[in-house]
Amino acid sequence: MKKKVIIIGSAWPLRGGGIATFNERLARAFMQEGHEVIIYSFSLQYPSFLFPGKSQFGNEPRPADLHIKSVINSVNPFNWFRSGNAIRKENADLIVVRYWLPFMGPCLGTILRIVKKNHRSKIVCIADNVIPHEKRVGDTAFTRYFVKPVDAFITLSEKVLKDLTLFTRKPALATVHPLYDNFGEPISKTEARSALGIPSENPVILFFGFIRQYKGLDLLLKAMAVLKQKGNAPLLLIAGEFYENRQQYEQMIDELDIRDLLILRTDFIPDNEVRNYICAADFVIQPYKHATQSGITPLSYHFERPMLVTNVGALPAMVPHEKVGIVTAPEPEAIAHGIEQLYSLGEAHFLFHLRNEKKKYNWQLLTDSIWQLAGKN
């Protein structure tokens, strides 16, 4: 039966990174099931002084197949009431709201309280994090305010599911992060490297995504110095925008004397170039210091790139050791040894397991879980 679904969260033209991409792909999954879908996104997502990147907006063309309303202003309470009333009047059967940062708690919590007045819409939250990576005053109060009008919760890791119990006992379940399969099909390493203008014959590992302290790029740079001392360092392709002070990394690179091993592509990576970066690498490295889950893992699964992850959060559960990749401690020496293991085993060693494991990361599992939770309320 056709139903009306509203997704509240980042979408085009915002450069929300994985969140915007996820929301748009989720909209298409509901549409494939025959439902009407509207995404209510932001006209202002963050005040400029809170946004760590260069721009909140991308240059990609508007998705022709998606109905996106960019109307929510995260810092204007008058807008929250207007947006809440607009969404309330939609009388949607299901509202899926993304929650990834306590800063959004007052805005989204107010909107959802207004929506609840239609006595029709079931509200399911996909909670990326309820305890943020970078903590600020007010986080707990903002999250407590947000969770009250939500009927049920989906998390993408057991860690977030456990964290959620500190705030609510409403129905909740953890499911896997589906594949990012909307960036095209895999291409050959030769073709990808040619498109990026990087050496075709060298071993290349990849660090991909926004550069933030918790993602451990500093650990990986130190691991590269360890490998250089041993005389077996690959090239490290760093692809992603700095979301913190770049200078500290530049200084570390010079102090470690590893600049000759790096390929720096530290502007925002548009969607149409994502495939080239993943496919150009031998292996994808996620040296996180702490994490809940990572969208880089399902992205790597889609393009069938073996991974190295550290044993934090849900990452080890998503990357079976010595089958899909290597799991190490979040320490430079351990990461360096893990990279050596990847090359010792070789890409072909992981391919069967990658193709088999990726089958469980499908979007229908997520939509089925959402409908299941919506039906419990």
Q: What is the DSSP string of 200-233?
A: SSS-EEEEES-B-GGG-HHHHHHHHHHHHHHT--
Calpha distance 165→146 (Å, rounded) = 14
Q: What is the pLDDT along the chain (377 residues), one digit of tens a residue?
A: 899 999 999 999 986 568 999 999 999 999 999 999 999 999 999 876 555 556 566 667 889 999 999 999 999 999 999 999 999 999 999 999 999 999 999 999 999 999 999 999 999 999 998 988 677 788 999 999 999 999 999 999 898 999 999 999 999 999 989 999 989 999 999 999 999 999 999 999 999 998 999 999 999 999 999 999 999 999 999 999 998 889 999 999 999 999 999 999 998 888 889 999 999 999 999 999 987 778 899 999 999 999 999 999 889 999 999 999 999 999 999 999 999 999 999 999 999 999 999 988 999 999 999 999 998 54
Q: What is the pTM of this model?
A: 0.88
Tell me the H-state helices in the chain. 18-32, 77-90, 105-115, 139-147, 158-164, 189-196, 217-230, 246-256, 271-280, 296-302, 315-318, 332-345, 347-357, 363-375
Contacts (Cβ under 8 Å, ≥6 apart) of 124: 94, 95, 96, 97, 150, 151, 152, 153, 154, 370, 373, 374
Q: Spelled out in words, what is the top-level CATH class assigned to the domain 189-359?
A: alpha beta
Q: In what order do the strands lie in the sheet with 122-127?
A: 68-73, 36-44, 4-8, 94-99, 122-127, 152-155, 172-174
4-178+362-375 is a CATH 3.30.413.10 domain: no
Contacts (Cβ under 8 Å, ≥6 apart) of 95: 5, 6, 7, 8, 87, 112, 115, 121, 122, 123, 124
| pLDDT computed for residue 136 by the predictor | 78
Which residues make up the CATH 3.40.50.2000 domain(s) of the chain?
4-178+362-375, 189-359
| pLDDT computed for residue 291 by the predictor | 79
Supply 68's token pair. 């996106």
Calpha distance 209→269 (Å, rounded) = 8
Residues 7, 16, 12: CA angle, nearest 5 degrees: 60
